Amino acid sequence: MTYSIALIPGDGIGPDVVREAVEVLDAVADKADHTFNYAELLAGGCAIDQTGEPLPPETLEAAKECDAVLLGAVGGPQWETLPGHLRPERALLGLRAGLGVYANLRPAALLPQLKAACPVKDEVLAASNHEGKAAFDLLIVRELTGGLYFGERGRTPDGNAAYDTELYSKAEIERVLRAGYRAAAGRRKKLCVVDKANVLESSRLWREVAAVVSKDYPDIETTYMYVDNCAMQLIRGPGQFDVIVTSNLFGDILSDEASVLTGSIGMLASASLGDPVSGKTMGLYEPIHGSAPDIAGKDLANPLATILSAAMLLRHSFGLEQEAREIEAAVNRVLDAGYRTKDIASRGGDAAAEKIVGTREMGQRVLDALAGKL
Ligand code: IPM
Ligand code: MG
């Protein structure tokens, strides 16, 4: 099969990590006899420098023409003083809305090789884990194209007050819930709707819609939790969660919290998905970490989150589950073999057996593992 992938390396370490992910994708393509055609596109700070805008219209148009989009990272200190609508982050919001990728999947699991990096004590982790293990494996499904991020906002005429609006339609709530249920079906079959229904009318609508939609998924357990309690429960007992479905703002906040629990933000991948249309799902795939301008181009960045994002791309946009699993297994073997970029070094296990490597070598080791040489 032939697929087209838009590459948006972006700023900072974005190009460093996307380069490694492309090598991994190419290796998978060779092995499985697929062809991946790439279109490299400009967005973020580098687009501001070259075109004056964070998301040039040509970028969005070209991205829409592709089957999926792989993004590195955007942003950096040199663009931080620009007005809001010209900041690199606008490119992200524009891509999300423009591609219609409303369901943002942010997995957060504790990797056994990096377990010591988790700031929560083993006994606390074990108490909430379904098998009594000091581990957790959860997925936050964040609504990504609505709510406070896209609602009406402004200032009063006298400039003395400002407002943002949380507005959700039943249809927007329903489709992201269904994305959550689809994910839960392939996991531990638990879905928790996180909201603030004790105060917010929009949250009450979320619950109403969930009560109806949940009937279509009788084998999945649906529960409800207020977001403040969820923030607490993520620390007290992350093992209780399987899939969390929540609004744009709550998902933004909770996913940062969950990333800290894993102790290794350099490992976390994400997928943002649109509606499946005749078997194809448009998706925007990116590592959770930022552009880390201080280490850009220095062969220090951890490429694994982007490589794992490429695995999610194969799974969710191309339906290549087998190939996705091979990449994930290869990353696992590389960690088992002791290879660590600096950000994930000395996080437990046998520290003496660790080999500290740079971006390029880490990518190379994943290729070795894919080729059965590790
Ligand atoms: C994220 C980021 C973005 C968001 C910012 C950079 C606009 O925090 O992807 O979580 O708030 O969505
Ligand atoms: Mg965020």
The proportion of the chain whose per-residue pLDDT surpasses 70, expressed as a percent, equals 100
For the segment 272-296, the average pLDDT, to the nearest whole number, is 94
The proportion of the chain whose per-residue pLDDT surpasses 90, expressed as a percent, equals 94
DSSP codes joined into one string, 152-184:
-EEE-TTSS-EEE-----HHHHHHHHHHHHHHH
What is the structure's pLDDT at 30? Answer: 96
What is the structure's pLDDT at 355? Answer: 96
- Cβ of 252 below 6 Å from ligand 1: yes
Q: Rounded mean pLDDT of the chain?
A: 96
- Cβ of 92 below 6 Å from ligand 1: yes
Which among 113, 3, 24, 61 is positioned nearest to 308, based on CA atoms?
Answer: 24
Can 216 be counted among the known catalytic residues? no
**C-alpha R_g of the chain:** 20
With cut-offs at 50, 70 and 90, classify the pLDDT of residue 158: very high
Which among 50, 44, 57 is positioned nearest to 90, based on CA atoms?
Answer: 44
Beta-sheet pairing, 162-164 with 2-10? unpaired
DSSP codes joined into one string, 334-372:
HHHTTEE-GGGTTSSS-GGG-EE--HHHHHHHHHHHHTT
Which among 365, 370, 363, 367 is positioned nearest to 19, based on CA atoms?
Answer: 363
**Ligand number with the minimum distance to the CA of 144:** 1
**pLDDT for 60-86, tens place per residue?**
999 999 999 999 999 999 999 999 889
Q: Are 53 and 332 in contact (CB under 8 A)?
A: no
**Ligand number with the minimum distance to the CA of 97:** 1
For the segment 190-200, the average pLDDT, to the nearest whole number, is 98
**Is pLDDT of 280 > 90?**
no
pTM: 0.96
The encoded tokens of residue 76 equal 């950096």
**Is pLDDT of 237 > 90?**
yes
Q: Are 79 and 87 in contact (CB under 8 A)?
A: yes
- Cβ of 174 below 6 Å from ligand 1: no
**pLDDT for 32-55, tens place per residue?**
999 999 999 999 999 999 999 999
The helix or strand, by DSSP H or E, that contains position 7, with its residue range, turns out to be strand 2-10
Q: Which ligand 1 atom sits closest to the C-alpha of 286?
A: 9
Which among 208, 93, 215, 84 is positioned nearest to 146, based on CA atoms?
Answer: 93
Question: Could you tell me the distance, in angstroms and rounded to a whole number, from the CA of residue 131 to the centre of ligand 2?
Answer: 30
**Ligand number with the minimum distance to the CA of 104:** 1
Q: What is the DSSP letter of 130?
A: T
What is the structure's pLDDT at 353? Answer: 87
Question: Could you tell me the distance, in angstroms and rounded to a whole number, from the CA of residue 322 to the centre of ligand 2?
Answer: 30
What is the structure's pLDDT at 276? Answer: 86
Q: What is the DSSP letter of 11?
A: S
**pLDDT for 87-108, tens place per residue?**
999 999 999 999 999 999 999 9
Unique residue bearing structure tokens 């490119």: 91
Pocket test for ligand 1, best of 89, 164, 250, 285 (most atoms within 8 A of CB): 89
